[in-house]
Every structure is written in structure tokens, then in C-alpha cells.
Amino acid sequence: NVACFGETVTSERVAIEALHTFLTTDFDGGRHAARVAQLGDLDRGEPV
């Protein structure tokens, strides 16, 4: 996932709060969970 903030429309305080939320919120899986697991397998050198 990627977080982007427009410099002219987002204050530093709001950007920091939003980034903190983005980085500390647990991944809930959903339809992407299998692909995320495959990326972990690749990182460990396991076949996908």
C-alpha cells in the first residue's frame, strides 16, 4: 500500500496523524491476503 499527501492541501499535522494511522492499522487480509502470503514466501526463497 502507498500513502500520498498533497503538499498544498494537507497540513503537516494532518499528514503525520494520517501516516501514523496508516502505519499502525493492522492488515485485515480480505481478497489480497493470498497474494501478500505469496510475497512472504518469495522473501523467504520459497516457491510460489
pLDDT of residue 11: 97
pLDDT of residue 5: 96
Do residues 3 and 15 make contact, with C-beta atoms less than 8 angstroms apart?
no
The per-residue pLDDT for range 1-48, each reduced to its tens digit, is 889 999 999 999 999 999 999 999 988 888 889 998 999 999 999 988
Domain count, the chain: 1
User: How many C-beta atoms lie closer than 10 Å to residue 10's C-beta?
Assistant: 13
pLDDT of residue 10: 97
The DSSP string of 1-48 is ------TTTS-HHHHHHHHHHHHHSPP--GGGHHHHHHHHHHHTT---
pLDDT of residue 30: 87
Q: pTM for the complete prediction?
A: 0.59
Q: And the C-alpha cell for 2?
A: 502507498
Q: Whole domain around residue 37: which residue ranges?
A: 1-48
